[in-house]
């Protein structure tokens, strides 16, 4: 079965700014696919080209087997979109907005079930101006579902939300996949990408610098687990640094953080040292390498951006 979304060698410049420089990726049917990258990487521009909001300079775009550049109207019937900020008139209510947006589509869902699904029954007839940030985002998602889309495109869906609203929205997005929708989202939230996405394309400077499942990206990056050690007193100077496989040692005195490629050998050597000096462990944990190390390794920091 062909991929549900195909982006081939996409390019787009704004005057002298080359925002997208040959981006390619595919999203399989029923997958949650994330574009992960720092500010200005070209994620929004890519999504805007894909949904027909911007004319690309070059490249191919396909959605549900349709050439999105040749048949933009047909493609719009198949996709649901929630952009970073959905501008709605202050006086319109969620129920009215859903009815209005639905009128643009051949196939549409009724406002009632959408309001219920996105937890907006209590606000169905409230003016949009009175909605909280989380409620607005939920309305944006409900609007994306008004045409029963095969593919849902979400640009930074949880940006600016508090942890509990973020958690709720992530459950909603996971639910979309469970219902068989294909989801393409952009984010610079590493936890979100790791928790939600089946596969990720890491984007930097308008290019894809790596693609894979979160697990594959972490494994490919060669990043090591991080050990955090808190003790009642510091170990004698230099002893931690000389343990097997220790690198990137940070921290002072009784609190230390470092990476190691040989966790078992390290712990085997550490415990007798502590025992000999009668030093107690207050906290010790080993955390696996995360997408954060991949992100930092593959993308430019703010100081390197133009
Ligand atoms: P963010 O995470 O900050 O939203 P992004 O990865 O979505 O960033 P884009 O918004 O696609 O990145 O921007 C890519 C580049 O294109 C940036 O350098 C940005 O300043 C530039 N850019 C985006 N929109 C325009 C525009 N309308 N006119 C001129 N330049 C633009």
Whether residue 12 has its Cβ less than 6 Å from ligand 1: no
Could you tell me if 245 and 260 are in contact, meaning their C-beta atoms sit under 8 angstroms apart?
A: yes
Whole-number average pLDDT of the chain: 89
Q: What percentage of the chain carries pLDDT values higher than 90? A: 56
Residue 204 CB partners (closer than 8 Å, separation 6+)? 37, 38, 41, 298, 299, 300
Whether residue 225 has its Cβ less than 6 Å from ligand 1: no
Higher pLDDT, 283 or 250: 283
Average pLDDT over residues 239-266: 87
Residue 1 Cα, ligand 1 centroid: separation in angstroms? 33
Residue nearest to atom 19 of ligand 1 (CA): 40
Whether residue 157 has its Cβ less than 6 Å from ligand 1: no
The pLDDT value given to residue 269: 94
- Mutation to probe ligand 1, out of 7, 10, 13, 19 (largest number of atoms < 8 A from CB): 19
Identify the DSSP state of 175.
H
- pLDDT tens-digit series, residues 238-247: 889 899 889 8
- pLDDT tens-digit series, residues 81-130: 988 777 788 889 999 999 999 988 888 889 999 999 888 999 999 999 99
Higher pLDDT, 44 or 247: 44
The pLDDT value given to residue 191: 84
The pLDDT value given to residue 105: 87
Higher pLDDT, 48 or 248: 48
CA distances from 269 to 234, 239, 306 (A): 16, 10, 46
- Mutation to probe ligand 1, out of 16, 45, 305 (largest number of atoms < 8 A from CB): 45
Average pLDDT over residues 274-298: 87
The pLDDT value given to residue 197: 96
Q: Is the pLDDT of residue 302 over 70?
A: no
Residue nearest to atom 16 of ligand 1 (CA): 19
Q: Which domains does the chain have, with CATH numbers?
A: 1-78+150-220+290-306 (3.40.50.300), 86-147 (no CATH), 224-288 (3.30.70.2470)
- SS3 at position 21: strand
Range of weakest confidence among 61-70, 80-89, 122-131, 195-204: 80-89
Q: Is the pLDDT of residue 303 over 60?
A: no
The pLDDT value given to residue 218: 85
Residue 22 Cα, ligand 1 centroid: separation in angstroms? 15
Burial of 248 (0-12, 13-18, 19+ CB in 10 A): exposed
> Whole-model pTM?
0.82
């Amino acid at each position: 079965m062909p991929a549900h979304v195909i982006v081939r060698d996409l390019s787009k410049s704004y005057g002298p700014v080359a925002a997208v420089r040959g981006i390619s990726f595919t999203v399989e049917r029923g997958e949650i696919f994330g574009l992960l990258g720092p500010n200005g990487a070209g994620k929004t521009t890519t999504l805007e080209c894909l949904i027909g909001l911007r004319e690309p300079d070059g490249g191919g775009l396909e959605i549900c087997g349709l050439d999105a550049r040749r048949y933009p109207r047909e493609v719009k019937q198949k996709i649901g979109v929630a952009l970073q900020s959905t501008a709605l008139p202050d006086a319109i209510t969620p129920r009215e907005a859903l009815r209005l947006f639905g009128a643009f589509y051949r196939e549409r869902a009724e406002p009632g079930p959408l309001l219920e699904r996105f937890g907006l029954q209590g606000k169905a007839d409230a003016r949009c101006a009175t909605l909280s940030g989380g409620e607005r985002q939920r309305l944006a998602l409900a609007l994306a579902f008004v045409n029963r889309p095969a593919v849902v495109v979400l640009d930074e869906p949880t940006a600016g939300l508090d942890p509990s609203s973020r958690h709720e929205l992530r459950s909603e997005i996971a639910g979309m996949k469970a219902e068989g929708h294909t989801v393409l989202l952009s984010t610079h939230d590493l936890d979100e990408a790791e928790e939600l996405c089946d596969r990720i394309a890491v984007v930097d400077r308008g290019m894809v610098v790596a693609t894979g499942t979160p697990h594959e990206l972490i494994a490919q990056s060669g990043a090591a687990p991080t050990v955090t050690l808190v003790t009642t007193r510091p170990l004698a100077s230099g002893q931690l640094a000389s343990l097997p496989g220790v690198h990137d040692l940070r921290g002072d005195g009784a609190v230390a953080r470092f990476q190691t490629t040989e966790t078992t050998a390290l712990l085997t050597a550490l415990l007798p040292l502590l025992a000999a000096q009668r030093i107690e462990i207050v906290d010790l944990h080993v955390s696996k390498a995360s997408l954060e190390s991949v992100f930092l390794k593959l993308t430019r920091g703010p100081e390197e951006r133009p």
